[in-house]
């Protein structure tokens, strides 16, 4: 049991810590929102989506994405469109006005964007299937459940910590200049992933 829990912790951190669109967006919202509570929608959505992906991977449901090539291409296409749009919104965001009224990143937009960068990111899906899904096959019964729950808990704790770190970062930025720069960097990261996905999609179709 302990081995499975430690295995789950290592794998979860290995997948979630590297800089990616999801992490950038959670940190960004933690920094932009006037209070931590206002950033909870993105934290809860990201955590719920990761939980869904992990459970699907362990149960084998997400293998459908790998089984049907056309389904993978559809996910890629939708994901590219969403990422391009998210990048545009981030690039155009006025950091100071967003921190004051939260209009640009309302609860609805936080949920929509967090869900899209989590569930419409083929690499996140494939990583979850390939690493967590396949690793879970080494365990059975209660041990597999412990492994699964461990990866889920690590995921939630990471997003909470990321939003909290973003919140402190936002407090240090009284002028809004750092947040404006963070928005631009976030947009570039999002667009970079979109371009990479587009190249990958073109290779699949070709």
State pLDDT tens for residues 12-27: 776 676 556 788 788 8
**31 and 182 in contact (C-beta within 8 Å)?**
yes
Beta-carbon contacts of residue 45 (< 8 Å; ≥ 6 apart): 110, 111, 114, 115, 118
Residues 127-156, buried b or exposed e (16+ Cβ, 10 A)?
Answer: bbbebbbebbeebeeebeebbbebbbbbbb
Res 66: pLDDT:
59
Per-residue pLDDT tens digits for 47-72: 999 898 888 888 876 566 556 667 66
**21 and 117 in contact (C-beta within 8 Å)?**
yes
Which of 38-42, 55-59, 63-67, 89-93 has the largest mean confidence? 38-42
Q: Residue 160: is its pLDDT beyond 90?
A: yes
């Amino acid at each position: 049991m302990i081995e499975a829990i430690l295995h789950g912790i290592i794998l979860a951190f290995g997948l979630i810590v590297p800089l990616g669109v999801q992490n950038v967006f959670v940190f960004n919202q933690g920094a932009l929102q006037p209070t931590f509570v206002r950033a909870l929608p993105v934290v809860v959505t990201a955590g719920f989506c990761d939980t869904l992906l992990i459970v699907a991977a362990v149960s084998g449901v997400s293998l459908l994405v790998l089984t049907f090539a056309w389904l993978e291409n559809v996910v890629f296409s939708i994901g590219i469109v969403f990422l391009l749009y998210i990048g545009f919104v981030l690039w155009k965001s006025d950091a100071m006005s967003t921190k004051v009224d939260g209009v640009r990143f309302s609860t609805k937009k936080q949920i929509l964007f967090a869900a899209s960068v989590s569930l419409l990111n083929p690499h996140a899906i494939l990583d979850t299937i390939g690493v967590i899904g396949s690793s879970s096959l080494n365990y059975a019964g209660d041990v597999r459940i412990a492994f699964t729950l461990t990866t889920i808990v690590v995921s939630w704790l990471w997003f909470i910590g990321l939003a909290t770190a973003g919140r402190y970062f936002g407090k240090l930025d009284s002028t809004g200049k750092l947040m404006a720069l963070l928005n631009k960097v976030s947009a570039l990261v999002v667009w970079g992933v979109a371009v990479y996905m587009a190249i990958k999609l073109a290779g699949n179709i070709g």
